[in-house]
């Protein structure tokens, strides 16, 4: 969701690419709530950090505590930042059906949007 917001709200200012320490695929409920907000992330792919080795980062931002604890050091001058968000998938995986699970996804989507806006202004 963060990559989608960065690309939608701040193209040219934030060149975002997301990756994780594990591949899980794109969460269909994340795609749905982002679509509701006018952001299409359906073509995004789950990537591992190793797949981005050839990129030089200015900032590395972790968005969950597990990633912060497991995130490797990055070479170069990348500034490390952390802002933790709830994981709506983990919070709701025992619930069914999707219409019951959707509210936390919407809340986290909106929180991430606010964070991306603040980040864009912070990094200039």
Residue 9, domain member (yes or no)? yes
Which tens digits make up the pLDDT trace of 42-64?
A: 999 988 888 887 888 888 898 98
- Count of domains in the chain? 1
We report the CATH number of the domain holding residue 46 as 3.40.50.2300
Residue 15, domain member (yes or no)? yes
Residue 61, domain member (yes or no)? no
What tokens were used for 8?
């939608």
Q: Are 47 and 19 in contact (CB under 8 A)?
A: yes
Task: Say what the pLDDT of residue 123 is.
Answer: 85
| CB atoms near residue 110 (< 10 Å) | 14
Higher model confidence: residue 117 or residue 67? 117
Task: Say what the pLDDT of residue 74 is.
Answer: 67
Q: What is the mean pLDDT of the chain?
A: 89
Q: What is the pTM of this model?
A: 0.88
Residue 73, domain member (yes or no)? no
**Range(s) of the domain holding residue 99:** 2-55+85-123
DSSP the chain: -HHHHHHHH-TTT------BSS-----HHHHHHHHHTT---TT----BGGGGTT---SEEEE-SHHHHHHPPP-STTPEEEE-----HHHHHTT--SHHHHHHHHHHHHHHHHHHHHHHHHHH-
């Amino acid at each position: 969701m963060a990559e989608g917001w960065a690309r939608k709200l701040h193209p040219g200012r934030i060149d975002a690419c997301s990756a994780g320490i594990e591949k899980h695929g794109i969460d269909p409920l994340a795609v749905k709530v982002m679509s509701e907000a006018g952001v299409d992330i359906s073509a995004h792919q789950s990537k591992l950090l190793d797949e981005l080795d050839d990129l030089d980062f200015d900032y590395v931002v972790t968005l969950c505590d597990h990633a912060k604890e497991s995130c490797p050091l990055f070479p170069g001058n990348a500034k490390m930042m952390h802002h933790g968000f709830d994981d709506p998938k983990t919070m709701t995986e025992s619930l069914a059906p999707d219409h019951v699970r959707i509210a936390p996804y919407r809340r986290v989507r909106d929180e991430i949007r606010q964070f991306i806006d603040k980040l864009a202004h912070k990094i200039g």
